[in-house]
Amino acid sequence: MTREKVLSCSVKKTRKFKEKKQFFLGAFCALFILSFTPVYAACFNDEDGNPGQEGDIEYRTGSNILQYCDDTQWINMIDASDHTLTKLATLSTGSYYKNPRALAVSGDYVFSLAGGLVKSLISTDVSNPSSPTFVDQYQDSSNLTGPFKVILEGNYAYLVSSTNDSLVIVDISDPTNMSAPSGGAGGVLVDSTNLDDARDIAISGNYAFITSRNNHGIAVVDISDKASPTLETTLTDSNALNGMRLAEGIDIQGNYAYVVAFNSDTLSVIDISDPTSPSVVGVVDDGTDLNGALDVEVRGNYAYVVAQGADGVAVVDISNPATPTIVGAISDAANMNVPWEIALEGNYAYVTANTSDSLSIIDISDPALPTRVYTVSNSTFLDELNGVVIQDGLIYVSAYAHDSISIYRLQSDTGTACSNPGEYYYDFSTDAMVYCNGTTLFNMGDPASGSGACSPEGALNYNADRYEFCDGNGWVDIGK
């Protein structure tokens, strides 16, 4: 007689899986179908008297430790990091970082907008995040008054100005010497009707999709010629049926653009498979959870919407583009008063708030129950916090009223208090797997001690008779 054997990675008494990166537990579980004689549990007599299978992980409430089952016995996951942010640096000088509404990051450089009389795109070297340095300034006094949003695509930065009703394209192939694309219109498109109060921009192929707050919709711009961007078409809400009254944020995934509107309290799903003829295929409106919708980020089957009027974030199921549906929301006026922008990393959303001068981390591992896990606030260097972008475990934010950009990273608080026993995840700042024993945070292994190449950083693997994690340099044994 034969029987199927399952190598399990079940977690008992563990409240939640957590992850620092979106790839954290990728390929964590594997199912192996083998033919053999009847098998018995590899590990016996756990705390509850239950047998364990090879690869099982359990949290011991009696001893407050994590254990895994190897081929014969339960192994302690020896000796986590709270969701705490450490500020590495703040760069503030009105001559370069005046009213930085938004920013973007690529490699060793951050590109931020400068308003006021500066009217520029600023490049900053962040190769040493603890000591960022100004690099270059691209100024356009005619077309960059009130710059509102910047995104990067290839060797170019795309900026929109809400005051000048403009799109400005900048060549950033050399961040130390930024320049306008040569020839044509110099990478500038001004349109006081179709780009009236331009607010956000997203790129798909040879087209830029720009929200126009006062034109209540989007403008589609052909950017195949960087020097001479040209208007292709528009999609507006003149009949109040498309849910885009005071259009604000936009994001693109696949053949769809997702637009949120401040006045309509809506998220509209737009088919852009033919960029020359976009069409609305679905709309969700909600005067509570989407009240004052301002920004949106999309990943997988969900759109995450910043709602200023709700002082929070709504999670929208977009698996069916025709029927987007709100499945979860969080409102927190104390910590997210007038939220502004959102960025996603792993199982977390990072949300800036303009009035509470704060950056909040929201656990979105359960879309139906987004939960705030940490907030940092400061009325000085986070004064009127607006932009946020994330790269390689570093969080970059821009403070409009403080005329500054700041750099944070997730801080390891090994040995300090925690309150979620059994919770475990990868701590980027210490290159280690970490867990909470109910009162104190512990590392599971030493970083940078593995052997052999591994990827991605933070991956967890069961190897023969032990768990190991990838610290970016090699596989590190846990607890054996």
> What are the domain boundaries of the chain?
84-411
Which pair of tokens denotes residue 125? 């070297």
In this prediction the pTM is: 0.73
Say which residues have a Cβ less than 8 Å from residue 217's Cβ, sequence separation at least 6.
211, 234, 235, 236, 237, 242, 244, 247, 259
Whole-number Å distance between alpha carbons of 53 and 12: 12
Which pair of tokens denotes residue 66? 């994590």
Whether 195 contacts 162, CB under 8 Å = no
Distances (CA, A) of 59 to 15, 68, 94, 178, 461: 10, 9, 52, 54, 18
26-29: which pairs have CB atoms within 8 A and are 24 or more residues apart? 26/456, 26/459, 27/459, 28/460
Q: What is the pLDDT at residue 176?
A: 98
Distances (CA, A) of 338 to 96, 134, 277, 343: 26, 30, 35, 16
367: left (phi over 0), alpha (psi -120 to 50) or beta: alpha
Sign of the torsion formed by the C-alpha atoms of 455, 460, 462 and 466: positive
Which pair of tokens denotes residue 105? 């990051």
Which positions of the chain have pLDDT values less than 50? 1-40, 79-82, 412-413, 448
Whole-number Å distance between alpha carbons of 56 and 38: 19
The predicted-structure confidence for 106-123, as pLDDT tens digits, reads as follows: 999 999 999 998 999 999
Token match 């034109």: residue? 215
Reference 216, options 169, 180, 260; nearest CA is 260
Reference 197, options 233, 147, 151; nearest CA is 147
Radius of gyration of the chain (CA): 25
238: left (phi over 0), alpha (psi -120 to 50) or beta: alpha
Composition of the chain by helix, strand, coil, percent to 5: 0, 45, 55
Helix (H) or strand (E) holding 124: strand 120-125
What's 472's DSSP letter?
S
Backbone angles phi, psi at 149, to 5 degrees: -150, 145
3-state secondary structure of 256: strand
Say which residues have a Cβ less than 8 Å from residue 162's Cβ, sequence separation at least 6.
146, 147, 148, 197, 198, 199, 213
Neighbours of 84 (CB within 10 A): 17
Q: What is the pLDDT at residue 446?
A: 58
The predicted-structure confidence for 200-245, as pLDDT tens digits, reads as follows: 999 999 999 999 999 999 999 999 999 999 999 999 997 767 889 9
Distance of CA 399 to the CA centre of its chain: 18
3-state secondary structure of 148: strand
First to last CA, the chain: 34
Residue 27, CB-side half-sphere exposure with 13 Å CA sphere:
7
Which pair of tokens denotes residue 328? 């979860």
Buried b (16+ CB within 10 A) or exposed e, 19-31: bbbebbbeeeeee
> For 84-411, which CATH class?
mainly beta
Backbone angles phi, psi at 425, to 5 degrees: -170, 180
Whole-number Å distance between alpha carbons of 137 and 147: 14
Distance of CA 346 to the CA centre of its chain: 7
Residues forming beta bridges with residue 149, ordered by sequence position? 160
